[in-house]
Amino acid sequence: METEPSQNDVETRLLDLAKSQPNGVSNDDVKAHLSDVPLPELTAIINKCLKNGLFDLFKLKNTLFYKYKDPSKKTTTKGADTEERVVYKIIEEAGNKGIWIRDIRFASNLNMTQLNKVLKSLETKKIIKAVKSVSASKKKVYMLFDLEPDSTVTGGAWYQDQDFESEFVDVLSQQCHRFLVEKWEEANQKSGGPLAVRNRSYATASDVHKFISELGISKVALTIKDIESILFTVVLDNNAERIVKTDGSYLYKAVKGFLPAPGLVKTTCGICPVVNRCADTGHINPKDCSYFAEWLNQ
């Protein structure tokens, strides 16, 4: 077996060394302990650790020391003032959904100028970052620097530069519905009892995903989860139902409603936008109503 130590190994050994010396290790210490590692490689690894924030670099009596820093409790706010610590805590709690500046202000009780200063400082230190949220165009939310923003913030596949691609979603929704209807019609054509027909009409999200991918209408790669969200709109439109399988996943099927269009909506007043302002007398009234004239001519 080749005993060439792998990069990871070296890194672990280096970190272990640093951890054992809470006051920091010097370059010489490192070289002594890891003499089996070629120098260029060692340098590369030290640099990597520095970059990842695992090491703090400091100078003591003209010697460089590396000090281990625990990333899990990234209380880099050491040295920072209490205000920064408070704000940091608030932002940390918000997780990857982020938090709005106003909410930070309320929670921290800092005034706006103070808060702005603190945020700026944390931002330059790359401890936090500001992310634009899709839910409101001018709203920024703050979260810890290395968190991946939640899809509720970025909007996921449906957003292009914070614009919701409504038409794209509509087309997908229609196509998903079409797929389910076709599946259901197909099932009906084959012989067999009603249960067989019903069971054949069910589709999984990955069936639909496959169909949509093959259609090639999407520029971006959609995940199964994306398709589930679209299918949910079909369910909400009363065009499909979804049932839960025993393993927790969903099955979808095209359905029809119980009722035909109600009589009320076949009349003009039932769908009239100004019905609340319509009265026997006055400007809007049934005798002069032009919607009625149109309806009568239909």
Closer Cβ to other proteins, 25 or 240, answer by number: 240
Question: Smallest gap, in angstroms, from Cβ of residue 264 to ligand SF4?
Answer: 12
Among other proteins, ligand SF4, none, what does residue 50 contact (CB within 5–8 Å per kind)? none
In the three-class reduction of DSSP (H, G, I as helix; E, B as strand; rest coil), residue 289 is classed as coil
Whole-number CA gyration radius for the chain: 31
Q: How many CB atoms lie within 10 A of CB 69?
A: 18
**What part of residues 118-177 is at the interface with ligand SF4 (CB under 6 A)?**
none
283 touches ligand SF4 by CB under 6 A: no
Which long-range CB contacts under 8 A does 42-51 form with residues at least 24 apart? 42/10, 42/14, 45/7, 45/10, 45/11, 45/14, 46/14, 48/11, 49/11, 49/14, 49/15
Question: Smallest gap, in angstroms, from Cβ of residue 142 to ligand SF4?
Answer: 50
Q: In what order do the strands lie in the sheet with 250-254?
A: 203-204, 250-254, 240-244
Distance CA 51, CA 114 (A): 29
Question: Smallest gap, in angstroms, from Cβ of residue 181 to other proteins?
Answer: 15
The only residue of 57, 266, 274, 294 in contact with other proteins, by rule CB under 8 A: 266
Partners of 243 in the β-ladder: 251
Closer Cβ to ligand SF4, 107 or 289, answer by number: 289
Closer Cβ to ligand SF4, 250 or 292, answer by number: 292
Question: Token digits for 86?
Answer: 């408070």
Question: Smallest gap, in angstroms, from Cβ of residue 10 to other proteins?
Answer: 44
The DSSP annotation for 175-231 comes to HHHHHHHHHHHHHHHS-S-HHHHHHHH-EEHHHHHHHHHHHT--SSPPPHHHHHHHH
Region near ligand SF4 per CB under 6 A, out of 70-78, 162-170, 255-263, 269-277: 269-277
Let me know: does 26 contact 10? Beta carbons within 8 Å.
Answer: no
Instruction: Specify the amino acid at residue 16.
Output: D
Question: Smallest gap, in angstroms, from Cβ of residue 286 to ligand SF4?
Answer: 4
Longest dimension (CA), the chain: 101
The only residue of 33, 48, 178, 198 in contact with other proteins, by rule CB under 8 A: 198
Question: Smallest gap, in angstroms, from Cβ of residue 278 to other proteins?
Answer: 7
275 touches ligand SF4 by CB under 6 A: yes
Look up residue 275 and give its DSSP letter.
Answer: G
The only residue of 274, 282, 294, 297 in contact with ligand SF4, by rule CB under 6 A: 274
Angle at 27 between CA 23 and CA 29, to 5 degrees: 70
264 touches other proteins by CB under 8 A: yes
Q: For binding to other proteins (CB under 8 A), which residues are involved?
A: 106-107, 109, 134-136, 152, 158, 164, 166, 169, 173, 193-196, 198, 229-230, 232-233, 236-238, 241, 243, 255-267, 269-271, 273, 275-276, 278, 280, 286-287, 289, 292, 296
Q: For binding to ligand SF4 (CB under 6 A), which residues are involved?
A: 268-269, 272, 274-275, 278, 284, 286, 289, 291-292
